[in-house]
A and B are shown apart, each in its own frame.
Chain A
Amino acid sequence: MSEHLLNDPTLIFLGLLIPLLPLVGFLINGLLSKFLPRGSAGWIGSGVVLASFICVVFIFKSVGPTDMIHIDLFNWIAVSGIDISFGIHIDPLTIIMMLVVTGVGFLIHLYSIGYMHDDEGFNRFFTYLNLFIFFMLLLVMGSNYLVMFIGWEGVGLCSYLLIGFWFKNEAYNDAAQKAFVMNRIGDLGFLLGMFFILFNFGTLEFNIVQKLASGLTPDSTILITITLLLFVGAIGKSAQLPLYTWLPDAMAGPTPVSALIHAATMVTAGVYMIVRSNVLFAMAPATMTIILFIGVTTSVFAAFIGLKQNDIKKILAYSTVSQLGLMFAALGLGAFSSGIFHLVTHAFFKALLFLGAGSVIHALHGEQDVRNMGGLRKLIPITFITMLIASLAIAGFPLLSGFFSKDEILAHAYEANKPVWIILSFSSFLTAFYMFRLIYLTFYNTFRGTEETKSHVHESPWTMTVPLIILCALSIFGGLLGLPEVFSEHHWLDSYLSGVTGGSVPFLHHGEHLSHGMELGLMSLAGFGAILVILYARNRYIKLHQLPPDETALKGFEKLIYHKFYVDELYEKFISQPVFRLSEFTGNWIDKFIIDRVVNGSGWLVDFSGRTLRLLQSGNTGFYVFAMVIGMVVLFIIRLLI
């Protein structure tokens, strides 16, 4: 827990400026874009994010591991029972996230200026991107769950808008809608989780909740319920099993969007949320086991699917799902700072991979199928080299960023649970394989597309290559954030975050600490494995010139993973279709033929009885008089009897 409350007005001002700048950018781009010269939206959009980034760096410099800044803007929802403020909270965890969001965010903004240059929705694109940065910052800066929830749903909205950015295409709109709805399923869990927290703790402020929670008995039902519900939210947002299918479809959006939202920032919100409430989670071991299970399963499951995809962005999308699974596995093991470490390095190299893929697509004028690429190494060298390094990083090539962050998680797995370690190692070898399958198919051998396309291939403009190079440097050196104890005095990120994650330490079960020798052994094992896998891929795709076969030629397991285990089809058949049919059934049958029939039936009954009873009106006076007398006699008799 953070101890020092900083009250420096400069810092508070900077803290407020961080989310406000992108909001201002959004408003300018959104409302005034008609009056601005074409193209200026890109520079405005990038500028405000850069300014935010500078503010974050200033704050980073002055906030130590145990410091925090707390700003209560105003009472947002205040009813007699509950009082939720619109508060901002900055501590080391927030700063790390802000650095990633604004830093990587700025690079991607810059890249988009080149990438979206010819798009008619240029201004709109930057409007949405700025809005996204604003919501993402709100998500990580919120001082309570509800403010986080604003960001949480807000980024979902931006994701929806950006996936369906090319709104004339029906399939893209479907993908956008799917993403929003699946996120909402998770959000339902989050919302209910908040209700439980609010009801049991009387507040939604992170710090107070964590303090109050640590006074409860660990493993109590209420803690398990809360954490499970919050985790459902994380599943939806971070594309874990079983709610991951929206993320591959989300690749319909422009590539910078995939890099920013669906790789580096938004999808990691689930990881952030769990680390933010680490005390709650650490006190609910049952939930931790479920997180571990889902993380590990997702990691392998998605890695398998990634093996057989042919769309360059889809490969990366499944890789993202798999890597997110790895992060959740880390969280499930209680290694919160390792999860964040991998989140950061992943943001670097995955953003780079997506941007590189974007650069390839840009060069090939929209071609995304790796079967139609090849030999691009010489034609777009900067893209090639940066992407190669990013692939090495994600594959766990020794001394690159991914190597350290992944190794840390594997080491934790080895300590705690050997089968998990084996599965995760296997999954990371799969990663190495499909990444190099991508690299070899795209950049090596000869070009497989048409000559005409080839003649137009060109390296991207500087606005696109500069972000690639910077991210490449980060992918190489990002590991420095968390050098293991073997190499350095102490683990920098771990100690920087200790103020945040410290509260959960007493509740975590610790295995015996690994000896340095063992740690080195594990590292070299992982490194060697990765290299071997890369060599195997090289053999297969360069020496033997293998190409991905047509889908008709696939059999058995290969066919199964090519079709993504048919999960989409299953969901369509067993969830979407039944809901639609239920909707038609209730609308056309229950509503119209039962309920409305009852209503109309009562009207009909009155009408019918009128038509029937009027027959008594025979016109025969004698009959009337007779009936009258009989009636009177009957009444008299009744009166006498009663």
Chain B
Amino acid sequence: MGPVEQIVPLNWYIVLSTFLFCIGVMGVLFRRNAIIILMCIEIMLNSVNLLLVSFSAYTGNSDGQVFVFFTMVVAAAEVAVGLALMMSIYRNIGSTDIDVLNKLKW
């Protein structure tokens, strides 16, 4: 048991992560700007990362931290591709509003 845990109980981390995650979800649901949606996704990912790390510390098992690295790498890649796509779309259409971007259907 590390000293940090004794100061901040596990529940706090869980609550914080939940809040962060919900903020992310709400952002994705209600914002129209694609860049903000991407950022909200990042918030969700990070909330999960936080949870993984805290559980990892709590149980003393390093698997969770390894997973966080995975997640961060994937998230970085995703952001790179996602932002590139957004750039390209903005150049062509002049907007990143997802209500405008509805051509990809049946």
Contacts and interface: CB of A to CB of B under 8 A. Distances in A.
Interface string B81-106: 00000000000000000110111111
Interface stretch (A396-404, A444-452, A610-618): A610-618
A609 interface: no
B98 A622 contact: yes
Interface stretch (B11-19, B24-32, B45-53, B55-63): B24-32
A619 B105 CA distance: 4
Describe B's contact surface by its main secondary structure. Answer: loop
Contacts of A615: 106
- Interface core residue of B37, B101, B102 (most chain A CB under 10 Å): B102
A67 to B, nearest CB: 93
Q: How large is the interface on A (under 10, 10 to 19, 20 to 34, 35 or more residues)?
A: 10 to 19
A619 B104 contact: yes
A618 B29 contact: no
A617 B99 contact: no
Contacts of A614: 106
Contacts of B34: 621
A617 B29 contact: no
A620 B106 contact: no
A365 to B, nearest CB: 83
Contact of A629 (B25, B99, B103, B104): B25
A610 to B, nearest CB: 10
A622 B37 CA distance: 10
Given A614-B106, A615-B106, A621 B98 contact: yes
A189 to B, nearest CB: 66
Contact of A625 (B28, B103, B106): B28
Given A622-B98, A622-B99, A617 B105 contact: yes
A626 B29 contact: yes
Q: How large is the interface on B (under 10, 10 to 19, 20 to 34, 35 or more residues)?
A: 10 to 19
A500 B25 CA distance: 102
Nearest to A633: B25
- Interface core residue of B25, B99, B101, B106 (most chain A CB under 10 Å): B106
A614 B106 CA distance: 6
Contacts of A622: 29, 32, 98-99
B102 A625 contact: no
A625 B105 contact: no
Contacts of B32: 622
A406 B56 CA distance: 113
A78 to B, nearest CB: 68
Contacts of B103: 619
B99 to A, nearest CB: 7
Contacts of A618: 102, 105
Contacts of A621: 34, 37, 98, 101-102
A615 B28 CA distance: 23
B98 to A, nearest CB: 4
B29 A625 contact: yes
Contacts of A626: 29
B106 A617 contact: yes
A617 B103 CA distance: 11
Contacts of B29: 622, 625-626, 629
Contacts of A620: 98-99, 102, 105
B16 to A, nearest CB: 20
B45 to A, nearest CB: 15
A323 B104 CA distance: 90
Contacts of A619: 101-105
Contacts of B99: 620, 622
B97 to A, nearest CB: 10
Interface in A601-642: 614-615, 617-622, 625-626, 629
B6 to A, nearest CB: 32
Interface string A311-337: 000000000000000000000000000
Nearest to A626: B29
Contacts of B37: 621, 625
Nearest to A625: B28
Interface of A: 614-615, 617-622, 625-626, 629
23 contacts: A614-B106, A615-B106, A617-B105, A617-B106, A618-B102, A618-B105, A619-B101, A619-B103, A619-B104, A619-B105, A620-B99, A620-B105, A621-B34, A621-B37, A621-B98, A621-B101, A621-B102, A622-B98, A625-B29, A625-B37, A629-B25, A629-B28, A629-B29
Closest 3 CB pairs of A and B: A619-B105, A619-B102, A621-B98
Given A621-B102, A629-B25, A629-B28, 16 more contacts: A615-B106, A617-B105, A618-B105, A619-B101, A619-B102, A620-B105, A621-B34, A621-B37, A621-B98, A621-B101, A622-B29, A622-B32, A622-B98, A622-B99, A626-B29, A629-B29
